[in-house]
Structure formats: structure tokens, C-alpha cells
């Protein structure tokens, strides 16, 4: 009976905390010129600290699905804005993304080891730190109506970050499985199969969509609904076969762009549904992390955050001229890649449910860094767009 009462309190508390988070986001955005998502994350951390986050497996699984669906919408939109021809033509931009991702992995892993983290945990931290949060970056870009070199480069590099973060995380899981089982074939097969099936699920759902939409001659509202339902289907399908819904949603978005089904500005954020799910996503994911309780934990969080941002800015600045932009805009592109949390934490949560034994230890090690970047990352991304002169926010944005 006590358990049921606690569960009811948790569920009833969510609408209240979401409303408070929305109000805080509007105050932060309109009054303080701070990205709304920073206030959403703060509400989630406070609510979790008060014990409001779900603890029973059934409720947490349902909310985890909603979170993956919410992030899937952002990954779909991100993938939809990726121009594969540009990445092939300007291969230096692609190399920038690869070099920046690998440098971030190496720097964060080295800092983690120097701060006393075990090598296997340090590898996981490095892999997660490569990712840029597509939810935070896309939301900041949409709020500011960002448009220009820094904006487009940041979005393309964010997609490369997410892809390589998944690959590096699968490598870390494969290495852990190798140590646990001693079978190289099993470790490589599990990682490769998961990646292939994830991409395949995105393609499977995406292939019939262009034919369907053209036959129905759907209007703008209808197209938005179909895209949202397609992302939901991908999320359900991938979770059903225990592969990554994040990579599948990104694949689906890229495929729709290739099929010339273009999202209009009015469709971005997926309307009221997208706004509500964004609110839920940041509140829920922020609640997964906890404040560092020791000076060493806080120092680790700060050093990892500084090392991550420095690595991204250094790499993007170093490759700026050869990829067709100025050093200043290259550095600002790296600064725009600062947001971290949502993709990394949901990737870690997926790995935990898939049986990755180091997930809980990695979560406690990266929690402080996530909290730091929850507030600093979106602000840095906003600064990057403003300093690049690509923010076109109006008063009612």
C-alpha cells in the first residue's frame, strides 16, 4: 500500500514539476536570455533530489521510452538537416568531425585516468563525452532561428559526434565483453550486429514513407504527424529487438532528407507535441544525474568539462581554414558543440538495460560532468551563435 501511494505521488508530481519547469524556462529565456533547456534541467535535478524520480522498474521503463521517443524526434530533425553531399564534397569537414571526436575521446579518457578512474570506466567516459546533445543544440538553434556557417557546421558535426560516440561506446562494451567472455568473435559480432540492425530499422521504417506521403498528398500538418509516428514506430521497433533507437532515428532523418521530404520551419520542434516532449526529456534526463558529493567529484566534473570543450574547440579551429572557414568561426563551431547530457545519458541507460555491467559505475563517474554541462553547454552554444552573428531571435521567440 505504501509502495502504491509513493508511485501515485511520483506520477501526480510530474505534471506539476513540468508546469514549474516550463514557467522557469520562460522566465530564464525572456528575462535572463538563458536557454530554456537550462531551467528544464534544473527542475529535473531538484525534483530528483526531493525523491520524485520514479524508482519502480515499470514506471521507469515507460518514462525511458518517452525519453527515447523525445530524443528520437530531435535526432530525426538533426538527421533531416544533414547534407550528405556537402560532407562528401567538403571532406575536410568530415575529417574535422572525426578528428574532433577522437581528440575529445583521448583528452577526456586521459583526464579521467589521471584523476584516479579505472581504465575501463575512463574509456566509457571518453566515449560518452564525444557526443554532443542533439536535443540541446537543435533547441537552441531553433529558439534563436540560427542560420549560417557556424550553425550548419555545428549541426553536421553534432551528427558525426553522435555516430562516433555510439561506435566508441560499442567498442567499450565489446572490450568489456571480451574481458568477461574471452571471445573476440562474440565481442565484435555483438557490437557490429547492434549497429547494423539499428540502421536497418531506420531504413525499414523510412523506405515506404515517401510513397505514402505522396499518395496521400498530405499537407504540412499531416506530414508532421506522420514523421512523429514514424519516429515512435522506430523507437518501439528498436527497443523491441534491443538495439539503439537513437541511431535508428538519426538514420530515418537522413533518409527523409535524401528522399527530398523537407521539414519546413513551421514543422521544426514538432509543434506543441515537440514542446511538451522537450520539456519532459530535459526534466527526466536531468533527474538521472546527481550532484557530486565530494570535492574530488566536483574537481573531476569541472576538469572533464574543460578538457572536453578545449578539445572540441582546438580541433575545429585547427581544421577551420582547410575546411573553408575562418579560425574564429571554427573555434565558435567547437564552442557550439558544448551541450552534452541527453544523448550521453540515454545511450548509457540503453547500455545498462542491454546488460553492460559498467553502466552504473560510469553513471556515477559522469554524473557531475553531466550536471555542469546541463547548464553551461546550452549557454555556450547560444553564445557561439550570437558571437557568430547567426542568431535571429525576436522578442516572441
Mean pLDDT of 278-296: 80
DSSP state of 53: S
The pTM of this model reads 0.86
Handedness of CA 27, 32, 37, 42 (dihedral sign): negative
Asked whether the predicted pLDDT for residue 12 surpasses 80, the reply is no
Q: For all residues of the chain together, what is the average pLDDT?
A: 82
More confident residue, 345 or 86: 86
| Domains of the chain (ranges, CATH numbers) | 2-387 (1.20.1530.20)
Query: How many of the other CB atoms lie within 10 Å of CB of 63?
Result: 18
- Closest residue by Cα to residue 79 from 329, 262, 212: 262
Poorest-confidence range of 229-243, 252-266, 375-389?
252-266
More confident residue, 32 or 265: 32
Three-state DSSP at 217 gives: coil
pLDDT at 67: 86
Q: Which residues contact 294 (CB under 8 A, 6 or more apart)?
A: none
pLDDT at 212: 79
pLDDT at 316: 96
Residues 140-183 have pLDDT tens digits of: 998 888 889 999 999 999 999 988 888 888 777 776 666 655 55
pLDDT at 3: 46
Tell me how far apart the alpha carbons of residues 122 and 179 are, in angstroms, rounded to a whole number: 16
Tell me how far apart the alpha carbons of residues 300 and 371 are, in angstroms, rounded to a whole number: 12
pLDDT at 268: 65
- Closest residue by Cα to residue 158 from 233, 254, 63, 70: 254
Q: What percent of the chain has pLDDT over 90?
A: 26
More confident residue, 12 or 185: 12
Mean pLDDT of 129-141: 90
Mean pLDDT of 62-82: 86
Q: Which residues contact 328 (CB under 8 A, 6 or more apart)?
A: none
pLDDT at 287: 79
Residues 194-244 have pLDDT tens digits of: 778 888 888 888 888 878 777 777 666 677 788 888 899 998 888 877 777
pLDDT at 182: 54
pLDDT at 240: 78
Virtual CA dihedral for 48, 50, 52, 55, nearest 10 degrees?
Answer: 70
More confident residue, 349 or 4: 349
Asked whether the predicted pLDDT for residue 263 surpasses 70, the reply is no
Label residue 132 left, alpha or beta by phi (over 0 means left) and psi (-120 to 50 means alpha): beta
More confident residue, 375 or 23: 23
Residue 114 — pLDDT band, cuts 50, 70, 90?
A: very high
Handedness of CA 205, 206, 208, 213 (dihedral sign): positive
* DSSP string for residues in 168-206: HHHHHHHHHHHHHH--HHHHHHHHHHHHHHHHHHHHHHH
- Closest residue by Cα to residue 323 from 131, 160, 142: 160
Asked whether the predicted pLDDT for residue 40 surpasses 80, the reply is yes
Amino acid at each position: 500500500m505504501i509502495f502504491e501511494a509513493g508511485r501515485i505521488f511520483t506520477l501526480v508530481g510530474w505534471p506539476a514539476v513540468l508546469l514549474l519547469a516550463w514557467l522557469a524556462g520562460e522566465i530564464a529565456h525572456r528575462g535572463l536570455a538563458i536557454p530554456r533547456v537550462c531551467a528544464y534541467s534544473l527542475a529535473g535535478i531538484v525534483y530528483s533530489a526531493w525523491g520524485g524520480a520514479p524508482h519502480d522498474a515499470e514506471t521507469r521503463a515507460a518514462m525511458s521510452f518517452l525519453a527515447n521517443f523525445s530524443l528520437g524526434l530531435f535526432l530525426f530533425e538533426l538527421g533531416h538537416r544533414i547534407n550528405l553531399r556537402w560532407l562528401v564534397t567538403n571532406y575536410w569537414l568530415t575529417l574535422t568531425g572525426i578528428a574532433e571526436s577522437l581528440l575529445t575521446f583521448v583528452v577526456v579518457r586521459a583526464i579521467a585516468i589521471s584523476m584516479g578512474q579505472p581504465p575501463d570506466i575512463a574509456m566509457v567516459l571518453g566515449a560518452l563525452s564525444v557526443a554532443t546533445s542533439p536535443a540541446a543544440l537543435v533547441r537552441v538553434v531553433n529558439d534563436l532561428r540560427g542560420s549560417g556557417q557556424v550553425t550548419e557546421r555545428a549541426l553536421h558535426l553534432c551528427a558525426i559526434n553522435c555516430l562516433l560516440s555510439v561506435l566508441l561506446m560499442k567498442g567499450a562494451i565489446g572490450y568489456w565483453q571480451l574481458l568477461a567472455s574471452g571471445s573476440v568473435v562474440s565481442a565484435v559480432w555483438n557490437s557490429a550486429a547492434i549497429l547494423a540492425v539499428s540502421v536497418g530499422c531506420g531504413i525499414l521504417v523510412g523506405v515506404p514513407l515517401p510513397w505514402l506521403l505522396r499518395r496521400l498528398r498530405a499537407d504540412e500538418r499531416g506530414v508532421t504527424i506522420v514523421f512523429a509516428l514514424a519516429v515512435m514506430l522506430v523507437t518501439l521497433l528498436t527497443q523491441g529487438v534491443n538495439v539503439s533507437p537513437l541511431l535508428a532515428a538519426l538514420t530515418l532523418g537522413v533518409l527523409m532528407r535524401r528522399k527530398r521530404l523537407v521539414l519546413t520551419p513551421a514543422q521544426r520542434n514538432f509543434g506543441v507535441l515537440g514542446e511538451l516532449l522537450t520539456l519532459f526529456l530535459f526534466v527526466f534526463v536531468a533527474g538521472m544525474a546527481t550532484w557530486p558529493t565530494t570535492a574530488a567529484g566536483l574537481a573531476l566534473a569541472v576538469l572533464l568539462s574543460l578538457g572536453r570543450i578545449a578539445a572540441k574547440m582546438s580541433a575545429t579551429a585547427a581544421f577551420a581554414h582547410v575546411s573553408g572557414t575562418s579560425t574564429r568561426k571554427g573555434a565558435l563551431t567547437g564552442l557550439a558543440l558544448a551541450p552534452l547530457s541527453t544523448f550521453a545519458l540515454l545511450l548509457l541507460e540503453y547500455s545498462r538495460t542491454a546488460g553492460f555491467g559498467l553502466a552504473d559505475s560510469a553513471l556515477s563517474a559522469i554524473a557531475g560532468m553531466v550536471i555542469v554541462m546541463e547548464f553551461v553547454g546550452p549557454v555556450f552554444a547560444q553564445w557561439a551563435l550570437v558571437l557568430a552573428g547567426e542568431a535571429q531571435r525576436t522578442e516572441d521567440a
